Amino acid sequence: MSASKTVRKLQVVSPVPADIDIANSVEPLHISEIAEELNLSPKHYDLYGKFKAKVLLSVIDELEGSTDGYYVVVGGITPTPLGEGKSTTTVGLCQALGAFLDKKVVTCLRQPSQGPTFGIKGGAAGGGYSQVIPMDEFNLHLTGDIHAITAANNLLAAAIDTRIFHESTQTDKALLNRLCPPSKEGKRSFSDIMFRRLKKLGISKKQPEDLTAQEIKKFARLDIDPDSITWRRVMDVNDRFLRKITVGQGPEEKGMVRETGFDISVASEIMAVLALTTSLADMRERLGKMVIGNSKAGDPITADDLGVGGALTVLMKDAINPTLMQTLEGTPVLVHAGPFANIAHGNSSIVADKIALKQVGPGGFVVTEAGFGADIGTEKFMNIKCRYSGLTPQCAVIVATIRALKMHGGGPEVVAGRSLDRAYLTENVSLVEAGCVNLARHISNTKAYGVNVVVAVNMFSTDSEVELNAVRNAALAAGAFDAVVCTHHAHGGKGAIAKNETPIWDSRDPDIVLLYSQIFAALGLGSVLLDGFLFAGPFLFADLGFVDLGIAVQKACENVTQKLKFLYPLDTSIKEKIEAIANSYGASGVEYSEQAEKQIEMYSKQGFSTLPICMAKTQYSFSHEPSKKGAPTGFSLPIRDVRASIGAGFIYPLVGTMSTMPGLPTRPCFYDIDLDTTTGRVIGLS
């Protein structure tokens, strides 16, 4: 990919404007131009307007056998409720690699839920001068994938309650007759999906009339235990009042009331299936294998048992294709899937990564983001996503902020919506150094997978040089390959402004001048020191530190010496796998509730014990208690329940209380969101 065709020079200003204002100030390129830079022909994608396209999975088949590029995952330290800028760092790193270092690069990101977009967190397109555009389309409906998941999830929910209702009012023979109605010729037959259930039951007969009375009962009566149902309805809005509901209160349902609830759409197992699938055929199998509960005899009931697996696949047939977009600086982005990072694995899709790795080729870079801290997102990226994809990362970036490190060092509580305490706005090196124990554990845990670790310190204007140096020294001492201070939010990937603009980075330090003169020379760029500021060619390099991050990641990928190592083998027991993960948190042991013990025994008997583990715990601490900051040790990790996403392919233990339907704050983000009815542009989106 030649950067000269699509790369844009950003005209950065200070102070940094609102994200939506920056996004609206840049006219996106037609998405066909971005596709062309990736060597995608029109047969490889379907247009969704001028600035989005769905990339077809046929690209993977056409490039089978070609060499992949470098694979980089971006995680973070244990975050504050304000977030530490992983998405911004991911986008900024790709802009640095593609727009400045002239590397082939693709950013792979999750699609954000409308829940946080309209709630408290805001969107997830990055921020400042490191964003995906159009930012409003990215954060809202995009190409409808989440809506497809919502529809599929709720179709399955309706099928469950409907089946219970009909089985309660009909005989076995009546059920068979209605499940297999006569054709125009008067003959009854099984539909294709029914043969899946017959095979599962060990019945080889081909015609309904050949079934014995016992076989009719086994085939037609699922006998679902209402108390075992784990499948809930979903919607893509934060609505706390739907966390617990009752269904079946209508007079025609004959009093079949049961308690259930709603999750947010991205918490649906179907979203996790989308993220972990490797092909359309694989998705069909995974959707059909999803377990919704048990029969009264204790056997797992699947979507295919209900006859709905094929219909779910039809609803998801377009959602399986990743969406192509672009960054502010014109580098390509694949947006796909957005599984809930607590109860699911919190990573974008395998198919997007596979397409991207083939498209960038040898020497190119694919940078993807893992949700929350590295103890959740990066751990699940390695032990779940990489197991199913077969892909091997070379580098892991860990994003840190002085703000979060001070919190982990004993600083005051950080609360979203409240002003930061003075401790976070003034120099306090001792707090930073104390908090670096959190960073150090993330580094050691991540290095254990066999990848090189680069720390990106997301710099804020209140951070001092002494504080930043303390983080860099602590990171290197903990075994990081490199640690780099970054200002990508303020300056973008290239960090360049026109020569006649107001300078925003003073390069008078002779060591800095020497270092970057050498970098520019290595890149074939002439540099000059003029009036205390360092220039290269026609540009003033304002964000030199972020260029460092691109170079550090490149070197880390080129110098990886180990193979990918998983935290646990799959053939160990469910408890052994849970305890291996708990040990990485710093726990001295694991406590299982009576319910958890019961579920582990059941899943083991049902043959699911070889699945990987997806821990559902708070993102705000290594432990189960959000208040325990830093790097706690010696605690016992409580497992209150264990559940399974069989179609997605993992067991998820619940550590403490975990809400799958967020609530709205007193002042949600939607107060600021509106439409300029003159221009048609969205305003106030963050």
Helix or strand holding residue 323 (H, E): strand 323-327
Is residue 545 within 8 A of residue 485, CB to CB? The reply is yes
Question: How far is it, in rounded angstroms, from Cα 661 to Cα 651?
Answer: 20
* DSSP-assigned beta bridge partners for residue 613: 651
**pLDDT tens readout for residues 415-470:** 877 889 999 999 999 999 999 999 999 999 999 999 999 999 999 889 999 999 99
Q: What's the CA dihedral at 394, 395, 396, 401 to 10 degrees?
A: 180
* Residue whose entry in the numeric block shows the structure tokens 């990573």: 347
Q: Which residue has the higher pLDDT, 550 or 685?
A: 550
Domains 19-143+318-558 and 574-655 share a fold: no
* DSSP-assigned beta bridge partners for residue 527: 536
Q: Is the per-residue pLDDT at 667 higher than 90? A: no
Q: What is the mean pLDDT of residues 601-614?
A: 96
Question: How far is it, in rounded angstroms, from Cα 493 to Cα 488?
Answer: 6
> CB 412: neighbour CB atoms within 10 A?
12
Question: How far is it, in rounded angstroms, from Cα 660 to Cα 232?
Answer: 10
Q: What phi and psi values does residue 604 have, to the nearest 5 degrees?
A: -65, -45
* DSSP-assigned beta bridge partners for residue 260: 245
Return the SS3 of 482.
Answer: strand
Is residue 597 within 8 A of residue 611, CB to CB? The reply is no
Reported for 673-678, long-range contacts at CB under 8 A and 24+ positions apart, including other chains, are 673/118
Q: What is the mean pLDDT of residues 654-678?
A: 85
Residues in contact with 681: Cβ distance below 8 Å, sequence separation at least 6, in sequence order: 24, 136, 675
Q: Nearest 5°: CA angle at 355, between 354 and 359?
A: 115
* DSSP-assigned beta bridge partners for residue 397: 74, 454
Q: Residue 518: what pLDDT?
A: 56
Please determine, looking at this structure, whether the domain spanning 146-316 carries the CATH number 3.50.50.60.
no
Please determine, looking at this structure, whether the domain spanning 19-143+318-558 carries the CATH number 3.60.110.10.
no
Question: How far is it, in rounded angstroms, from Cα 388 to Cα 385?
Answer: 5
**pLDDT tens readout for residues 360-418:** 999 999 999 998 899 999 999 999 999 999 999 999 999 999 999 999 999 999 987 78
Question: How far is it, in rounded angstroms, from Cα 401 to Cα 138?
Answer: 26
Q: Which residue has the higher pLDDT, 507 or 247?
A: 247
In terms of Cα–Cα distance, which of 260, 250, 316 is closest to 288?
316
Q: Residue 506: what pLDDT?
A: 39
Q: Residue 38: what pLDDT?
A: 93
Q: 246-267: buried (b, 16+ CB within 10 Å) or exposed (e) per residue?
A: eebeeeeeeebeeebebbbbbb
**pLDDT tens readout for residues 264-273:** 999 999 999 9
Q: Nearest 5°: CA angle at 86, between 83 and 92?
A: 130
Which of 3.10.410.10, 3.40.50.720, 3.30.70.2190, 3.30.70.270 is the CATH number of 574-655? Answer: 3.10.410.10
Q: What phi and psi values does residue 626 have, to the nearest 5 degrees?
A: -55, -25
Q: Is the per-residue pLDDT at 343 higher than 90? A: no
Q: What is the mean pLDDT of residues 222-235?
A: 96
Is residue 417 within 8 A of residue 669, CB to CB? The reply is no
* Residue whose entry in the numeric block shows the structure tokens 């696949």: 313
Identity at 161, one-letter amino acid code: D
Residues in contact with 560: Cβ distance below 8 Å, sequence separation at least 6, in sequence order: 394, 395, 450, 451, 452
Q: What is the mean pLDDT of residues 182-210?
A: 95
In terms of Cα–Cα distance, which of 372, 420, 379, 401 is closest to 621?
372
Three-state SS for 545-566 is: HHHHHHHHHHHHHHCCCCCCCC
Q: Residue 121: what pLDDT?
A: 67
Structure tokens at 212: 């014995």
Question: How far is it, in rounded angstroms, from Cα 14 to Cα 17?
Answer: 8
In terms of Cα–Cα distance, which of 382, 376, 305, 461 is closest to 86?
376
Question: How far is it, in rounded angstroms, from Cα 21 to Cα 12?
Answer: 12
Q: Residue 3: what pLDDT?
A: 43
In terms of Cα–Cα distance, which of 553, 649, 428 is closest to 73?
553
Return the SS3 of 537.
Answer: coil
Q: Is the per-residue pLDDT at 175 higher than 90? A: yes
Return the SS3 of 74.
Answer: strand
Q: What is the mean pLDDT of residues 111-130?
A: 80
Is residue 51 within 8 A of residue 134, CB to CB? The reply is yes
Confidence of residue 4 (pLDDT cuts 50, 70, 90): very low
Q: Please, where are the H alpha helices in 279-393?
A: 280-289, 309-315, 350-360, 377-380, 386-389
Q: Where are the domains of the chain?
A: 19-143+318-558, 146-316, 574-655
Helix or strand holding residue 541 (H, E): strand 539-541
Reported for 416-420, long-range contacts at CB under 8 A and 24+ positions apart, including other chains, are 416/81, 416/82, 416/120, 416/121, 416/665, 417/120, 417/665, 417/667
Q: Residue 513: what pLDDT?
A: 53
In terms of Cα–Cα distance, which of 77, 74, 75, 85 is closest to 631?
77
Residues in contact with 521: Cβ distance below 8 Å, sequence separation at least 6, in sequence order: 527
Question: How far is it, in rounded angstroms, from Cα 38 to Cα 36?
Answer: 5
Q: What's the CA dihedral at 197, 199, 202, 203 to 10 degrees?
A: 80
Q: Residue 540: what pLDDT?
A: 37
Question: How far is it, in rounded angstroms, from Cα 283 to Cα 295?
Answer: 25
Q: What is the mean pLDDT of residues 304-330?
A: 97
Structure tokens at 566: 């998983």
Classify residue 296 by its DSSP letter. Answer: T
Q: Is the per-residue pLDDT at 107 higher than 80? A: yes
Q: Residue 539: what pLDDT?
A: 38
Question: How far is it, in rounded angstroms, from Cα 675 to Cα 659?
Answer: 32
Question: How far is it, in rounded angstroms, from Cα 350 to Cα 604?
Answer: 27
> CB 678: neighbour CB atoms within 10 A?
6
Q: Residue 404: what pLDDT?
A: 97
Residues shown for the chain: 686
Average pLDDT of every residue of the chain = 89
Expressed in percent and rounded to 5, the helix, strand and coil fractions of the chain are: 40, 15, 45
Confidence of residue 584 (pLDDT cuts 50, 70, 90): very high
Is residue 683 within 8 A of residue 135, CB to CB? The reply is no
Identity at 604, one-letter amino acid code: S
> CB 566: neighbour CB atoms within 10 A?
16
Burial degree of 198 (CB within 10 A; 0-12, 13-18, 19+): middle
Identity at 361, one-letter amino acid code: G
Residues in contact with 569: Cβ distance below 8 Å, sequence separation at least 6, in sequence order: none
Q: Which residue has the higher pLDDT, 374 or 538?
A: 374
Structure tokens at 321: 């294709």
Classify residue 681 by its DSSP letter. Answer: -
